[in-house]
Chain A
Amino acid sequence: MSGENIVFLLLALVALAGAFYSATARRVFHSALALFVVLGAIAGIYLLLDAEFLAVLQLLLYVGGVAVLIVFGIMLTPVHEEEKRGPFVRWSYIAAAGTVLLAASLVYLFWRYRLDWDAAPPGSTPLGPDASGYPRLFAFFSDLLFKDYLVPFELLSLALLAALIGALVTARKRED
Chain B
Amino acid sequence: MTSQLTNVLVLSSILFGFGVYMVIARRNAIGVLIGIELMLNSANLNIVAFNRYSEPCVGALDGQVLALFVMALAVAEAAVGLALIIALARRFGSVEPESADTLKG
Contacts and interface: CB of A to CB of B under 8 A. Distances in A.
Given A123-B60, A124-B55, A167 B37 contact: no
Given A73-B85, A114-B6, A82 B27 contact: yes
A69 B5 CA distance: 32
B60 to A, nearest CB: 6
Contacts of A95: 21, 24-25
Interface in A114-128: 114, 117-121, 123-125, 127
Interface string A77-119: 1110110011111001001101110110011001100100111
A35 B6 CA distance: 23
A140 B59 contact: yes
Interface residues on A, range: 35 or more
Interface of A is mostly: helix
Interface of B is mostly: helix
Given A87-B27, A107-B14, A163-B79, A121 B69 contact: no
Question: Which 7 residue pairs are nearest across A and B when measured between Cβ atoms?
Answer: A103-B17, A106-B13, A163-B76, A140-B59, A167-B83, A92-B25, A171-B83
Interface of A: 1-2, 4-5, 8, 12, 15-16, 19-20, 22-23, 28, 31-32, 35, 38-39, 42, 45-46, 48-51, 53-54, 57-58, 61-62, 65-66, 69-70, 72-74, 76-79, 81-82, 85-89, 92, 95-96, 98-100, 102-103, 106-107, 110-111, 114, 117-121, 123-125, 127, 136-137, 140-141, 143-145, 148-149, 152, 156, 159-160, 163-164, 166-168, 170-171, 173
